[in-house]
Amino acid sequence: MAGPRTSPSSPWIRRYAPAPDAPVRLVCLPHAGGSAAFYSGVARTLSPRVDVLAVQYPGRLERRREPPMESLTELADALVDELLPWADRDLAVFGHSLGAMVGFEVARRLEARGRAPVALLVSGRGAPSRHRREFTERPADPVLIQQLRRLGGTDPRVFDNEDLVELALPVLRADYELVENYRYRPGPPLSCPVTALNGVDDPKVTTADVEAWREHTTAAFDSVTYPGGHFYLVDRPGEVTGAIADRLARRAGSRRGEPSTAGATRSAGEGTE
């Protein structure tokens, strides 16, 4: 299969391990303060079975001169325009934390434009209908730093480097405000299967939050819980990529008429595929 002619130059898309002959492309959306590079290992592990499109939001790394987006829905609008040229084959969407929220809104827009994803995989975030603000007022910088420390996923040495902290804070604050200002608008459920992946000790996600994802699809729903906290996937990359690969293969199988086993909830430690 030949790739699209226009999108490889897009500032939004990074392909760390291009897989031009893969039957499915996986759009990977970073967490608050994160970048496309967070998914470089996922891309290399899944290639050549899956062509991973890691998304680079404005305002970070080589896009640092661009202002960060101020609205999550506007971010989704802009991103869908960048993704449609890649929809010459199946698209699936994976997002962690903030990325899960963006992924849901992107999936909605892809479906509305006739390019429904074959799967939505959401990590470290409850259903959008359960969204609630974390802060009653705009948090001070020390509060954001404390939040980062508590959730993990960042090398502790970063917090000892004032220059790095000063560089990261504007992006982190902008991303947190995307989350805080998000307002879920009810609409038709998705037609694609939804898989929720979470750490059993994640302080940001409750069981009820996860189960509520069922309400957002008319297709199958399943969930996988791993040992660990909000950034469980950093410590268990093999299991997480295995779960992703399994779900994408399952979607391909269901399109060929093979039986699907989706719909279950797996407990901690059962994420190895």
Q: Which helix (H) or strand (E) holds 266?
A: strand 265-266
| Beta bridge mates, 53 | 27
Share of the chain above pLDDT 70, in %: 84
**Burial class of residue 138, CB neighbours in 10 A (0-12, 13-18, 19+):** exposed
Q: What does the block give as tokens for 116?
A: 């429904």
Residues 6+ apart with CB under 8 A from 26: 42, 46, 50, 51, 52, 53, 91, 92, 93, 94, 244, 248
pLDDT of residue 257: 54
> How many CA atoms are closer than 13 Å to the CA of 239, on its beta-carbon side?
19
Phi/psi zone of residue 79: left (φ > 0), alpha (ψ -120 to 50 degrees), beta? alpha
Is 97 an active-site residue? Answer: yes
Report the C-alpha gap between 106 and 75 in whole angstroms. Answer: 9
230 belongs to the catalytic site: yes
Predicted local distance difference test score (pLDDT) of residue 180: 87
- Please write the tens of the pLDDT for every residue from 203-213: 889 999 999 99
Give the pLDDT of residue 270: 39
Give the active site residue among 31, 96, 216, 230: 230
Q: Structure pTM? A: 0.86
Q: For residue 250, what pLDDT is reported? A: 84
SS3 label, residue 30: coil
For 19-42, what is the mean pLDDT?
95
Check pLDDT > 80 for residue 156: no
Adjacent-strand bridge partners of 93: 27, 120
7, 97, 123, 223: the catalytic one is 97
pLDDT tens for 48-70 read 999 999 999 999 889 989 999 98
Mean pLDDT check: name the lowest of 28-37, 40-49, 127-136, 243-252: 127-136
Residue 144's pLDDT is what? 72
Confidence at residue 123, expressed as pLDDT on a 0 to 100 scale = 97
The confidence score (pLDDT) of residue 176 equals: 85
**Residues 6 or more apart in contact with residue 133 via CB below 8 angstroms:** 180
What is the pLDDT at residue 170?
Answer: 81
Q: Which two tokens stand for residue 103?
A: 């992924």
